Chain A
Amino acid sequence: MTPVLELVDLEVRYGSVPALRGISLVVERGEIVTLLGANGAGKTTTLRTISGLHRAHSGRIVFNGRSIEALAAHDVVGIGVGHVPEGRRIFPRMSVLENLEMGAYRRRGELKDDLERIFQLFPVLGERRRQDGGTLSGGEQQMLAIGRAMMSHPDVLLLDEPSMGLAPLVVKAIFSIIDQIRADGTTILLVEQNATQALQLADRGYVLENGEIVMSGPSEEILGDQRIRAAYLGEGAAS
């Protein structure tokens, strides 16, 4: 079976500064794959390049067997890539309902069943459907951002630091919903700084450092690696 998403030797530059130095990774259908690394390692750049917000300097992005690195951002969502951007980026002066409708912008027809499904996943969004997105709490905004991306029926959901700035209990709730979304059939590529929790959720992980992949493997393997534990999981930093 072909992987749902594959990056082949992907290189991205900001001007002459390399941000990604030829990374390759594979996401199989039905997986949760996490992309770990410090600030500035290139995690967000990777997701943004997949979505067409940045252009690849070289290398390929293959989605369902098709090269998509030349596709415009507004077309990438149409072929089945949902993106929950860093910092949630909900539309603050649109209602919760309108934010969700924006997620289905490329689809015509009835949204009732989709909205129903989102409100089942996130009951609080149903209660607040008339409220402006900007008035929601951080956790609710994250749920809205995820729900909005799910409205496009993505094959792959790109999640950029869904735990950022949220209380531990809220993070736990959101991670369990991510697991639920995967169980419902959506493949997930998860970028996280919160490495321990991300690895507990994910099947496999990649570790990025200065725009290069320095380690990859099943989550338990990365969790067990001494160097990674020291560098990213907050252990042994004092020694």
Chain B
Amino acid sequence: MCFTTNFWPFLVQGLADGFLYALIALGYTLVYGVLQLINFAHSEVFMSGGFASYFVLEALIGTSQPHGMASVGYVAIGIGAGAFGGALVAFLLERVAYRPLRRRNAPRLAFLISAIGGSYFIYNLAGKEFGRNALEIPAPFLNGPAFTLFGATIQTDYVVVAICAIAMLIIVDRVVAMTRLGKGIRAVAQDAETASLMGVNINRVISQTFVIGGLLGGAAGFLFGLNFGVAYTMGFTPALKAFTAAVLGGIGNIRGAVLGGLLLGVIENLSVTCIGANWRDVVAFGILVAVLLVRPTGILGERLGRSA
């Protein structure tokens, strides 16, 4: 029954959520690719992007009601501000919390603790500085029904999220596949020492990888904030889901992160309509465990990762 009446609206909602998960998941998967490290502070990179876009749009839009081309411009500015904020925090995080440990050849556990420490630091700093309540991002466009698809009404913000996310995902995929920067990232992921013999500055590539992850995660923070506002707590759940999505698709694998994100978003939302809203996360994480039992490396496997 759930596949007839409510299928399409929930599918669309699921895809919209999934695109956000995918954007965040790429930050985890890219960093894992080059460092074999889960950057647990990525949730706060996402949150920082949300706040950066909030402050910029608050200053630019205020209480006015943009429409038409102005809306497109403000969305672009919001994306840019979020991306910049996320990239800046990700860059600093790598410099302060991870690089010194790398230089000292610290054990893996030290990186994990440093990640958690960095995460809580940013989280609590944001809570103290920006207040404990959610702030609403001034709407860059008038939300409303954009069009109907199989009887489901598609809201404008879904369209915005989808278009922005797809554009960014395609750009990242192409950058990693084709540019010199992308080759450096893949080379470090496959064999860092040999990459350095080729002239790749490993530290620089790691920095660039954090920045790319931060750009995407920060932009996702803006897109998420459009719907739910921004708050210092906003990062935790979406980032945990995105991490899950990255593992589901195959950690270290860029297309796997996108696939995992979309799957997780869709499964979550269909479980809401098919089983019940309370089952949402139970089903999502149940499926994660089930997939990993069958395919421990995720659906697409680890492709950026270490050489065989």
Contact = CB atoms under 8 A, between A and B. Distances in A.
Nearest to B306: A92
A192 to B, nearest CB: 19
B199 A78 contact: yes
Contacts of A78: 199
A134 to B, nearest CB: 7
Contacts of B194: 85, 89, 91
Contacts of B200: 74, 102, 105
Interface stretch (A30-38, A93-101, A173-181): A93-101
A74 B304 CA distance: 21
Contacts of B245: none
Given A53-B196, A85-B194, A134 B308 contact: yes
Interface in B157-193: 180, 183-184, 186-187, 190-191, 193
A91 B199 contact: no
Given A91-B307, A92-B307, A93-B303, A102 B198 contact: yes
Contacts, number: 70
A21 interface: no
Given A51-B197, A74-B199, A91 B187 contact: yes
Contact of A134 (B198, B202, B307): B307
Given A73-B197, A74-B200, A105 B307 contact: no
Nearest to B194: A89
Query: For chain B, which range describes its interface: under 10, 10 to 19, 20 to 34, or 35 or more residues?
Result: 20 to 34
Contacts of A74: 196, 198-202
B183 A102 contact: yes
A69 to B, nearest CB: 16
B308 A105 contact: no
B186 A77 contact: no
B184, B201, B202, B303 — which one has the most chain A CB atoms within 10 A of its CB? Answer: B201
Nearest to A51: B197
Contact of B183 (A52, A101, A134): A101
Contact of A105 (B184, B191, B193, B202): B184
Contacts of B195: 91, 102
B197 A91 contact: no
Contacts of A52: 196
A163 interface: no
Given A94-B187, A105-B180, A83 B199 contact: no
9 contacts: A53-B197, A74-B198, A77-B197, A92-B307, A93-B190, A98-B183, A102-B195, A105-B187, A134-B307
Given A94-B186, A103-B198, A105-B183, 6 more contacts: A74-B196, A74-B200, A83-B197, A85-B193, A91-B194, A134-B307
Interface of A: 51-53, 72-75, 77-78, 83, 85, 89, 91-94, 98, 101-103, 105-106, 134, 148, 152
